Structure 1
């Protein structure tokens, strides 16, 4: 078997092991599983592209993540916020990626991981209560508006990928609040 095939097989095995771990953990250990997922997602985002190219620096923008989301009053609120962030990221990264030049397999792994984690979180979310994340939705809408304004250019996607990495750093903060 060639080295390329072995590498692909190894990555598939990692995804399967990750998936098995995700599905086997109970909700009391969700914060540990979320830490693993964050690390995996950051690795995938980094492999999708390197640093921001110099020609893209003119396109940078300061997206304002709503800081109040990072100070949840209850562990359940943190879970709901992480769920919302993952859903929004899935929505953004599910469209108009043709100009990115990213490997389709990496994008698929990233989207599969987002979907898997979203489903896993849904198993652990409270059934009662409806928390509105208006500011968080507005934040993600500004990212989508930025992509549209830049016609989903390569530079726009590089910047959004960087912002997605920041989102996973925010998820790390929220994950610490998930512990009971």
Structure 2
């Protein structure tokens, strides 16, 4: 005969098992959510500034995205890379925008979209970081250094906005790798 405390224990175990199932289901659906999010973010970045100004072509630079990141060995490494890219993009696009002609509302919509997606990814991250995260940090440091060197000029921001669009193309490639 089960005691009252054993009944509570079984109920707690049942809740934990259901929660784990729901969380893993959410991580399995993450790839589909990520695909939609990538498209939406790309559109927001495009609408933020319109067409690329031709006078900014002379400032264009290659930031050299780390190609090793695009071929992760495990699904979790793809998830970690996407998470890191989104965090870095949030950090870059949330400061020193005074010289841009972008509407603040469009920038805020872009940034506000990054927050929930980053949080969704966090629930599916492994506890151990991969070597590719360091490569990504160096890549984004080059972008930040470029902005500083160009004194956060409007053209520098346009180039970084274009690079941000490329980042979502890289995220698309990583999203494909998220499936089991």
1:58-102 Cα deviation digits (max 9, x unpaired): 100011000000001111000000000001000100100111111
For 2:153 and 2:129, the matched residues in 1 are separated by: 36
Give unmatched runs, 5+ long, in structure 2: 1-24
Instruction: Give the paired residue count.
Output: 155
SS at match of 1:124: coil
Q: CA deviation at 1:54?
A: 1.7
Spell out the pairing of 1:76-95 with structure 2 (5 A cutoff): 76-95=76-95
Partner of residue 160, structure 1: 160
| TM-score, scaled to structure 2 | 0.84
For 2:176 and 2:95, the matched residues in 1 are separated by: 31
Q: CA deviation at 1:154?
A: 0.4
- Is 1:148 the counterpart of 2:158 in the alignment? no
- Verify the 8 A CA contact 2:80 2:129 in the aligned structure 1: no
Partner of residue 103, structure 2: 103
RMSD: 1.0
1:87-129 Cα deviation digits (max 9, x unpaired): 1000100100111111111101110111111111001112x32
For 2:164 and 2:135, the matched residues in 1 are separated by: 17
Partner of residue 32, structure 1: 32
Give the structure with higher Rg (CA).
2
Partner of residue 75, structure 2: 75
For 2:146 and 2:128, the matched residues in 1 are separated by: 32
Q: CA deviation at 1:165?
A: 0.2
Q: CA deviation at 1:135?
A: 1.5
- Runs of 4+ aligned residues of structure 1 deviating over 4 Å after TM superposition are none
Partner of residue 130, structure 2: 131
Give unmatched runs, 5+ long, in structure 1: 1-24
For 2:116 and 2:153, the matched residues in 1 are separated by: 28
